[in-house]
Chain A
Amino acid sequence: MSFLKRIEIPIILFAIGSLLPLIDYYTGNLSIQASELLSWIVILVTFSYLIGVVNLFRYHLNNIRRGRDIYYSILIIGSFLFYLAIAYLNKGVYDWIFSTLYTPLSVAISSFVGFYTYTVFLRGARLKSPTAVLLLAVTIVILLYNTPTIRALSPQLITVGDWIKNVPNTGAYRGILIGMGISMIVLFMRAIIGRERSYLGGG
């Protein structure tokens, strides 16, 4: 049992799991093994959702037992079980709930951001410095650029908006992506040799 608890075992598993697709990608060898590994991962991910469900129940049943946010927890567990049952018992009701209740409610929650954005425009967008002036000028140009009516009326705006989108914006994102890519390679190398252990729960 103590052998299975050794830290080297998950590190070796991580290394093998990471190197197989890499070797396949760069050399074309071990192709069958890499494909098989990808299938295993898809199955593992599916089971991880089961763990999520177990955790959901554990947390909310605990809340109910302790009398903490009891009504919300009952609602969550009740609606989960109801929707699960309906999926098998009556597909029509399941689809109706999704189209008529879930989708509009989800969109409404996402739309809250829009309201606060407008108060930020009114209260927060201040010309207090040269940088702020530049930022707001670009904000206004891009807002109008993304307004189809204004684009139709002002072709010059399209030229300016395209330049902002394709030159400074793309350049900045390119830098971010390159930095992310290099960081990922460094993190991967550290994990392969066992120096990075955060994915093991800090062990």
Chain B
Amino acid sequence: MQSGSLPIVDRAVFIIFIILIAIPAIMPLGLPISISSNTVEVYRQIEGLKGGDIAMWITDFSVGTWGQVGPAEVAIYRHLFDLIRRKGIKVIIVTTYSVDGALNAERILREYIDTAGLKYGEDYVNLGWIPGYETTLAALAKDFQSIVKTDAYGNTIDKLPMLRGVRSISDIALIGFSTSTSPDPYPRQLGGYNKPLIINTLIATVPWTLPYYEKRLITGYIGAESDAAGYEKLTGMPGEGLRTLDAQSLSHIYGVVLIIVGNIWYFTRRREGGRR
């Protein structure tokens, strides 16, 4: 075998995978979708916000996981901004982990959200990246104004009317966060205040979230694209989640087929006394 070249079987696996995820992009299949109970729970908690309530959304996911976390994040942003219009809630957007989150938040606001008719500083505010991760979370919960001096664009707090009365987490009606890493710091710092705490994360991080969810330190979770598609269906605002759902379904089924085919191949060769 030539060094550096991929075996023919592996090449076939990759090519079939690429074809399977390309087909729905060219010709949407419209496969059926079921909405998970956790997605409905998150939707109800956000929809349950009343006029004047302040929602704080912490966008902390990295750019590389946009494919998994991005669609749900866009769907949630759209829902929150729709509630600004329908019910008069207010939204704070902030990032604590790394600059990726702030860039993602700005991108969503720029490319996916229609802010026409909304007043920045009165209806919503983008605080940008406040470095410190867990320290920032602790400070946001305990003494908001000690670390929030300006927003992402350099405006001081006195120019942002909606922040004047925000002193601590008790002034926030709902907190949500998106993360591509550990969910631990968020319920640790924000979970003991009897406020709804929602997470949008990778599907691989959902099991890590469940012990907190069981104890209601986290009150709702969204994991990856399938939940994003369900959320878009609930809000009536289709987006990338629904568009990529067919590809996700096909790729999962392909994974199962590979496991079965691989074992059939293995046992066939073993029975024939093939090379180990």
The residues in B between 15 and 69 inclusive whose CB is less than 8 angstroms from any CB of A are: 17, 31-34, 36, 62-67
**CB pair B252 A144 closer than 8 Å:** yes
Q: Are A173 and B208 in contact (CB under 8 A)?
A: yes
User: Considering only CB atoms, which chain B residue lies closest to A102 in the complex?
Assistant: B63
Tell me whether B63 and A126 are in contact (CB under 8 A).
no
Q: Contact between A170 and B210 (Cβ–Cβ < 8 Å)?
A: yes
Contact, CB under 8 Å: B258 / A110: no
Which stretch from B83-91, B116-124, B131-139 is at the chain A interface? B131-139
Q: Is the CB of B143 within 8 A of A38?
A: yes
Docked Cα-Cα span, A30 to B50, in Å, equals 35
Q: Which residue of A lies closest to B143 (CB)?
A: A35
Report if B13 contacts A (CB, 8 A). yes
A147 to B249, CA, bound (A): 5
* Pairwise interchain contact B263-A143, C-beta atoms closer than 8 A: no
Q: Could you tell me the distance between the alpha carbons of A1 and B170 in the complex, rounded to whole angstroms?
A: 47
How distant is the Cα of A191 from the Cα of B146 in the complex, in angstroms?
28
Number of inter-chain CB pairs below 8 Å: 162
Cβ of A45 within 8 Å of any chain B Cβ, yes or no, is yes
**By the criterion of a CB under 8 Å from any partner CB, how many residues of chain B are at the interface?**
62
Asked if B131 and A107 make an inter-chain contact with CB atoms under 8 angstroms apart, the answer reads no
Q: Is B159 interfacial (CB-CB < 8 Å)? A: no
Residues of B within 8 A of A163 (CB): none
Known: A173-B208, A177-B211. Is A143-B107 also a contact (CB below 8 A)?
no
**Distance between Cα atoms of A187 and B251 in the complex (Å):** 43
Q: Are A173 and B210 in contact (CB under 8 A)?
A: yes
Q: How far is the CA of A35 from the CA of B145 in the complex (A)?
A: 10
Residues of chain B contacted by A143 (CB below 8 angstroms): 252, 255-256
Q: Given the complex, which residues of A lie within 8 Å of B248, measured CB to CB?
A: 147-148
Whether A36 and B146, one on each chain, are in contact in the complex, defined by CB atoms closer than 8 angstroms, is yes
Q: Is A158 an interface residue (CB 8 A)?
A: yes
Considering the complex, give the chain A residue whose CB is closest to the CB of B137. A38
Measured in the bound complex, the distance between the Cα atoms of B221 and A170 in whole Å is 14
Contact of B146 among A39, A109, A117, A166 (CB under 8 A): A39
Contact between chains at A107 and B64 (CB < 8 Å): yes
Given contacts A38-B143, A42-B136, 11 further A-B contacts (CB under 8 A): A42-B130, A42-B135, A42-B139, A95-B106, A98-B103, A109-B64, A119-B13, A122-B258, A122-B265, A147-B252, A150-B249
Which residues of chain A have a CB within 8 Å of any CB of chain B?
Answer: 21, 31, 34-36, 38-39, 41-42, 45-46, 49, 95, 98-99, 102-103, 106-107, 109-111, 114-115, 117-119, 121-127, 136, 139-140, 143-144, 146-153, 158, 165-166, 169-170, 173-174, 177
Closest 6 interchain pairs by CB? Answer: A152-B34, A110-B64, A106-B64, A152-B32, A147-B252, A121-B258
